[in-house]
Amino acid sequence: MLKKLFRNGSADILVMISLELVFVILFYLIPLFSTLEKIQRKADGYQYEKYFEVQFASYNSEGILEVEGEKGQELSYHDFEQFWDKLEDISTGNIYLYTSIDVVKNVSFYTGKLLVKRNEAVLEKFLDAGDEAAFAISPVLDSYVDGEYIQMGDVTCHIDGYLTKSEQQICAFYADMEALSEEQREYFKEEIYQTFKEGAMIFYLAGENDISSAEEVFRDICGSFHAETEDVTEDISTQTSQEKSVYSMINKYALLLCLMLAVVNAVNVTQNYVKRKTEEYAVRKAYGYTDMQILLINMKNMGKDFIIAIPAGLCVLAGIHSIEKNMFGTVYDNPFTLVQILCLLAAGIAVYFLTQWFALRRIMGIDPATIIQSKND
């Protein structure tokens, strides 16, 4: 059986290896590059992010929105609390708020980053203290630290750790509002309310998945409280979209290069296969076989190699994943759906037919008289 399958010896083996290489690249390198890109994104920040400057409108004495030339009333704390509670309706991404907190009463104000609503993990880029940290600080607040605690205005907070160096350049502390005590949460809300009355606030919507629905809900909430919302992502984002796309572009070009090399290799191996069969095909031409008939014979012979290459390639992938799991304890993400897998198989089949097109060109160039004469000489 094996002798029949590999009757062309090394030529069959080379064809199978070249086709296996294509499948390994399609089914291994794509998940690999996808995982590496996710790791890089976590180092750079969330994949999706939006910054919004929110400014609440004021009202006149009749409860009508302030118009030019009229003195408006301040936003009530009751309205602010309603706004705050409404943010719970956002179910995708995380919502952060940048605000100033009075660390030393009426003396020292420091900018903090507050996690208002958590729908997914906090990235390692932000916290050395870990995802579960309720409160973390920057070294700029070390002078206010007493053991493991720090006095933040009227409340005492336990320090769970520090912000990362990149975050230390942006803010002095971080607080997960949902993880704080009721007393701490109320104090921070009162401080935030005072800031809201005095001017605009910066909200940061971010997530690893698409946050367009969260953005829509957020804008609707702000609109229902007559708050002006301006997208300021381009102004204050810590990394430009161009910079973020560089790594992704490198990944895509590297993957494309690997795939092109694999395809070129498959074409060269096919050319070599036809070259080895030149004498046989020349004789067949001499007996009246057309180029297309010879191509069909070639496709049949190489087709069995293609069919064998698929399960062989899958076995190679399973072996690679097993080694990775045993050595590193991790397995690369599999970003494929059933439809995508079928598309990749179709791509593999397309590569096979591409190699046969090159085979046809070489078959068409075979001159029976020249080949047979050179053999007799």
Could you report the per-residue pLDDT of 141-178, keeping only the tens digit for each?
A: 888 888 899 988 888 999 998 888 878 888 889 999 98
Whether 110 shows a pLDDT value over 80: the answer reads: yes
Residue 71 has pLDDT above 60, yes or no: no
| AA letter at 291 | D
Domain span at residue 153 reads: 46-238
Does one domain contain both 281 and 227? no
Q: Are residues 300 and 260 in the same domain?
A: yes
pLDDT over 70 percentage in the chain:
69
What was the pLDDT predicted at 67? 44
pLDDT-derived band at 5 (thresholds 50, 70, 90) equals very low
Q: Which residue did the predictor score with more confidence, 333 or 163?
A: 163
Asked whether residue 200 falls in the same domain as residue 154, the answer is yes
Least confident of 17-21, 109-113, 226-230, 333-337: 333-337
Q: How much is the pLDDT for 69?
A: 45
Distances in Å between the Cα of 266 and the Cα atoms of 117, 272, 299, 314, 356 are: 52, 10, 14, 18, 10
CA dist 260 and 40 (Å) reads 25
User: Is the confidence at residue 306, as pLDDT, over 70?
Assistant: yes
Q: Are 167 and 108 in contact (CB under 8 A)?
A: no
Confidence of residue 236 (pLDDT cuts 50, 70, 90): low
Model confidence at 3: pLDDT above 50: no
Residue 117 β-bridge partners: 95
* Closest to 204 measured CA to CA, from 303, 122, 296, 267: 122
pLDDT score of 121 = 81
Rounded average pLDDT over 365-369: 85
Cβ atoms of residues 145 and 159 within 8 Å: yes
Tell me: do 120 and 20 sit in the same domain.
Answer: no
240 pLDDT higher than 50 = no
Residue 248 sits in the same domain as residue 228: no
Q: Which of 238, 260, 277 is the last residue of a domain?
A: 238
Same domain, 261 and 212: no
What's residue 79's pLDDT?
84
Look at 13-17, 182-186, 336-340 and tell me which has the smallest mean pLDDT. Answer: 336-340
Reply yes or no on whether the pLDDT at 251 is more than 60: yes
Number of folded domains that form the chain: 2
Q: What average pLDDT does this structure show over 127-131?
A: 68
Domain boundary among 238, 263, 292: 238
One domain for residues 58 and 181 = yes
Identify the residue with better confidence: 44 or 309. 309
Residues 216, 271, single domain; the answer is: no
> Rounded to an integer, what distance in angstroms lies between the CA atom of residue 277 and that of residue 245?
48
* CA torsion through residues 168, 171, 176, 181, sign: positive
Higher pLDDT, 286 or 10: 286
- 3-class DSSP state for residue 115? strand
| Residue that terminates a domain, selected from 187, 212, 238 | 238
Query: With the CA atoms of 311, 314, 319 and 320 taken in that order, what torsion angle do they form, in degrees rounded to the nearest 10?
Result: 150
pLDDT for the residue numbered 153: 83
In terms of pLDDT, which residue wins out, 192 or 336? 192
Whether residue 219 sits in one domain with residue 271? no
Whether residue 88 sits in one domain with residue 8: no
203 confidence band (pLDDT: 50, 70, 90): very high
**117 and 14 inside one domain:** no
Average pLDDT over the chain, rounded to whole? Answer: 77
What pLDDT score was predicted for residue 226? Answer: 79
* Residue 339 or residue 67, greater confidence: 339
pLDDT at 95 over 90: yes
Residues constituting the chain = 377
**130 and 266 within one domain:** no
The pTM of the full predicted model, rounded to 2 decimals, is 0.55
The Cα–Cα gap between 222 and 52 comes to 11
Confidence band for 322, pLDDT divided at 50, 70 and 90: confident
Query: Residue 74: which pLDDT band, with cuts at 50, 70 and 90?
Result: low
Q: Two tokens at 346?
A: 């179709």
CA 92 to chain centre: 16
Q: What is the pLDDT of residue 325?
A: 65
